[in-house]
């Protein structure tokens, strides 16, 4: 069954835009939102778009006629179809709107390289409720047997409890996490795992994981924002990491060296308001040095298994350790207390929220929809802070976007509809460049 409900012209426009601009394309994304995909594509090909948009597409638009651009877009859609993939756009019901809201909030707060994807090439089926039902698991490619075991067992346990495991299909921890999720009995027939690629949807990288990617597409989804035929490249691994972080309610780092590119995923998760977690390892292991840095800086929560992960995400009740004192809705320290997922108590929906997010929630009118600009006035907070708070509220089903407006949701009740769409440790190096297959 097709996952797209976008019109033919819009689909061609999104495919064409994906071909001429390298992600993340902040200026182009904003231009498409303002003008619509068809008008934006025509303006880019005819060199009538704003200068920042043209600057990002000039190298691929030079000497490109409108007819050539349209033929290339049609060819990309055909190439995707031949491997069982389709192009998912923001107009489609299956678009992961809540997941990409965090990216939009990061852009509003001035984070570079955090632009939401224009569209997504998808093989398989995305989980319906991302990021709420997803957990990202990442780590070293050259992982140890310890890291491989922890990643596999953690993924299997989370998948058996209804959480989709998100990772990047690389060797090491990624591969172990995907296999672990696929081996579990996922309740309700929901997708077990999602792999986000740094290359075209018709490619397998690494080539040795081709069979794994086929299995993921059959029991989950393989996703890429790059058009068919795109080769994996060093910078694309860092770019795709923001999507790996976006699709999960939290990111777990299993093993990472001090200079691991995996730390960029942790930073991206933090920028998007996602929880960052890390698994400790032997103090003698260089592969766990990055995890220990995250934990020492209080940047990540310490987790050792699925129970810890779900507790940190608010899925279980647990006593908060005195090491991490709890804060109430006013920002005051309240000491150790019982943690609940925000919104789980209808009488105290802001419990578990930080002060600014609780303030934005209280700024909503009782039953009316409201624009972000009005929330800024009512809350007295700056727009980037409000956008970040909205991403958190949407994650916890306390708010939902309807077009350009937002409304507050009743605690304990999931939204009916939705639409839409790194501060942290310094990342000193990117993922290793791809090796020739």
Q: Are 14 and 37 in contact (CB under 8 A)?
A: yes
| Mean pLDDT for all residues in the chain | 84
- Rounded average pLDDT over 212-239: 95
Total residues belonging to the chain: 437
State how far the Cα of 155 lies from the Cα of 47, in Å rounded to an integer.
47
Report how far Cα 58 is from the mean position of its chain's Cα atoms. Answer: 28
- The DSSP annotation for 114-143 comes to -PPPS-EEEEE---SSTTTTEEEEE--TT-
- Listing from the earlier edge strand, what are the strands of the sheet with 134-138? 85-88, 120-124, 220-224, 193-196, 164-167, 134-138, 250-253, 275-278, 301-302
Give the angle 375-378-381 at the CA atoms, nearest 5°.
Answer: 75
Q: Nearest to residue 193, comparing CAs of 169, 218, 164?
A: 164
Helix then strand then coil, % of the chain, to nearest 5:
40, 15, 45
| 346-356 mean pLDDT | 77
CA dist 30 and 32 (Å) reads 5
* Mean pLDDT score, 335-351: 59
The pLDDT score that the predictor gives to residue 237 is: 93
Dihedral sign computed on CA atoms, order 218, 223, 229, 230: negative
Domain architecture of the chain: domains with CATH? 8-84 (no CATH), 126-312 (3.40.50.450), 326-421 (1.10.10.10)
The pLDDT assigned to 343 comes to 62
pLDDT at 346 over 80: no
Task: Name the pLDDT band for 5 (thresholds 50, 70, 90).
Answer: low
The answer to whether 394 touches 266, Cβ cutoff 8 Å, is no
Q: Is the pLDDT of residue 424 over 90?
A: no
**How would DSSP label each residue in 81-116?**
HHTTEEEE-TTSTTS-HHHHHHHHHHHHTT-TT-PP
Q: What is the pLDDT of residue 16?
A: 95
pLDDT > 70 in the chain, percent:
84
With a cut of 90, say whether residue 182 has pLDDT above it.
yes
* Backbone dihedral angles phi then psi of residue 136, each to the nearest 5 degrees: -85, 130
**Which has more confidence, 384 or 33?**
33
**Residue 394 contacts residue 400 (beta carbons within 8 Å):** yes
Joined tokens for residue 370? 């409201």
**Residue 334: C-alpha distances to residues 249, 313, 345, 356 (Å):** 25, 19, 18, 17
E strand or H helix that includes residue 318:
strand 318-319
Please state, for a pLDDT cut of 90, what percent of the chain lies above it.
57
Task: Name, in order, each residue with C-beta under 8 angstroms of 86's C-beta and a sequence gap of 6 or more.
Answer: 2, 3, 4, 80, 121, 122
Q: Is residue 141 scored above 60 in pLDDT? A: yes
pLDDT for position 110: 85
Q: What distance in Å separates the CA atoms of residue 264 and residue 202, rounded to the nearest whole number?
A: 26
The better pLDDT of the pair 356, 365 is held by 365
**DSSP per residue, 389-435:** HHHHHHHTTSEEEETTEEEEPPTT---S-------SSPP---PPPPP
- pLDDT in the model for residue 341: 60
Neighbour-count burial of 34, counting CB atoms closer than 10 A to its CB (0-12 exposed, 13-18 middle, 19+ buried):
exposed
pLDDT of res. 186: 67
Is pLDDT at 427 greater than 80 in this prediction? no
- For residue 224, whether the previous peptide bond is cis, meaning omega lies within 30 degrees of 0, is no
Q: Is the pLDDT of residue 270 over 80?
A: yes
Per-residue confidence band for 425, with pLDDT thresholds at 50, 70 and 90: very low
């Amino acid at each position: 069954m097709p996952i797209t409900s976008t019109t033919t012209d819009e689909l061609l426009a999104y495919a064409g835009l994906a071909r001429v601009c390298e992600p993340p394309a902040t200026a182009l994304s904003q231009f498409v939102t303002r003008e619509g995909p068809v008008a934006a594509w025509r303006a880019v090909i005819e060199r009538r778009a704003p200068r920042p948009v043209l600057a990002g597409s000039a190298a691929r638009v030079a000497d490109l006629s409108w007819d050539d651009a349209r033929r290339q877009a049609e060819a990309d859609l055909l190439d995707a179809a031949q491997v069982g993939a389709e192009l998912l756009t923001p107009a489609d019901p299956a678009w992961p709107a809540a997941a990409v809201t965090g990216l939009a909030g990061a852009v509003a707060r001035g984070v570079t390289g955090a632009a939401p994807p224009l569209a997504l090439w998808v093989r398989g089926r995305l989980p319906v409720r991302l990021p709420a039902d997803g957990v990202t698991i990442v780590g070293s490619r050259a992982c140890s047997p310890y890291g491989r075991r922890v990643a596999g067992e953690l993924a299997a346990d989370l998948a058996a409890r209804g959480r989709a495991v998100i990772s990047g299909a690389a060797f090491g921890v990624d591969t172990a996490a995907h296999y672990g999720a696929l081996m579990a009995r996922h309740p309700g027939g929901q997708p077990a795992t999602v792999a986000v690629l740094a290359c075209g949807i018709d490619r397998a990288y690494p080539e040795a994981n081709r069979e794994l990617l086929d299995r993921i597409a059959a029991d989950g989804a393989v996703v890429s924002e790059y058009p068919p035929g795109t080769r994996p490249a060093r910078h694309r691994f860092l770019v795709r990491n923001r999507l790996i972080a976006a699709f999960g309610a939290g990111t777990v780092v299993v093993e990472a060296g001090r200079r691991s590119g995996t730390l960029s995923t942790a930073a991206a998760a933090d920028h998007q308001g996602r929880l960052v977690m890390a698994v400790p390892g032997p103090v003698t292991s260089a592969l766990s040095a990055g995890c220990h840095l995250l934990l020492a800086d209080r940047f990540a929560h310490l987790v050792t298994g699925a129970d810890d992960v779900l507790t940190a995400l608010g899925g279980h009740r647990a006593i908060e350790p005195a090491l991490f004192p709890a804060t109430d809705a006013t920002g005051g320290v309240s000491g150790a207390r019982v943690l609940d997922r925000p919104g789980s108590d209808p009488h105290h929906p802001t419990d578990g929220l930080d002060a600014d997010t609780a303030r934005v929630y209280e700024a909503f009118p009782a039953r009316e929809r409201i624009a972000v600009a009005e929330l800024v006035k009512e809350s007295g907070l700056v727009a980037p802070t409000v956008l970040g708070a909205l991403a958190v509220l949407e994650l916890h089903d306390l708010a939902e976007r309807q077009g350009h407006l937002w409304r507050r949701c009743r605690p304990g009740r999931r939204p009916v509809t939705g639409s839409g769409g790194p501060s942290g440790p310094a990342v000193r190096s990117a993922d290793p460049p791809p090796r020739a297959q």
